[in-house]
């Protein structure tokens, strides 16, 4: 990995890094491997690095990377928006937490026997009897 530019942004409290990675005969490296390489080279925790873009050209074997590093986690949370992937993962985690509670409540409920519904024939007979009773009165 070769760092091409390193710009310090005082207002946002982050460092903007433009780097180049060579990956001949291999596919474009994943964000995780790039984060690991950057954290080793810059001596920063992986959690404080955000990979913004990975630009690869077909057949070239090099990728240009734009990444941001932050001083602490609080600044990172304040400045960066959560990606769609992260928001989706949080929603799924919330659903998983809510789902077991619903299952438990269903298991604890005592099942009451259902009342048998009268057949159509019985309903007709009952209606005829009530009509006869009303006529007799």
pLDDT the model gives residue 90: 87
pLDDT the model gives residue 69: 92
pLDDT the model gives residue 59: 82
Q: Give the mean pLDDT per block of 10 residues along the chain (137 residues).
A: 90 91 85 91 90 88 92 86 84 83 55 63 70 69
Residue 71's closest CA among 39, 51, 49? 49
pLDDT the model gives residue 76: 85
pLDDT the model gives residue 104: 53
Cβ neighbourhood burial of 66 (10 Å; 0-12, 13-18, 19+): middle
Starting from the edge strand earliest in sequence, which strands make up the sheet with 14-22, in order?
2-9, 14-22, 62-70, 49-56
pTM of the model: 0.59
- Domains in the chain (CATH in brackets) are 2-83 (3.30.70.330)
pLDDT the model gives residue 110: 60
């Amino acid at each position: 990995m070769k760092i091409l530019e390193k710009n310090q942004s005082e207002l946002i409290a982050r460092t903007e890094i433009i780097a180049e990675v060579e990956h001949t005969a291999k596919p474009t490296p994943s964000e995780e491997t790039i984060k690991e390489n950057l954290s080793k080279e810059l001596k920063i925790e992986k959690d404080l690095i955000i990979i913004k873009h990975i630009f690869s050209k077909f057949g070239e074997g090099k990728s240009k990377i734009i990444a941001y590093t932050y001083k602490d986690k609080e600044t990172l949370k304040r400045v960066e928006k959560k990606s769609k992937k992260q928001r989706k993962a949080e929603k799924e985690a919330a659903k998983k937490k809510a789902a077991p509670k619903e299952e438990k409540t269903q298991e604890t409920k005592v099942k009451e026997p259902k009342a048998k519904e009268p057949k159509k024939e019985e309903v007709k007979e009952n209606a005829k009897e009530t009509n006869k009773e009303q006529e007799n009165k």
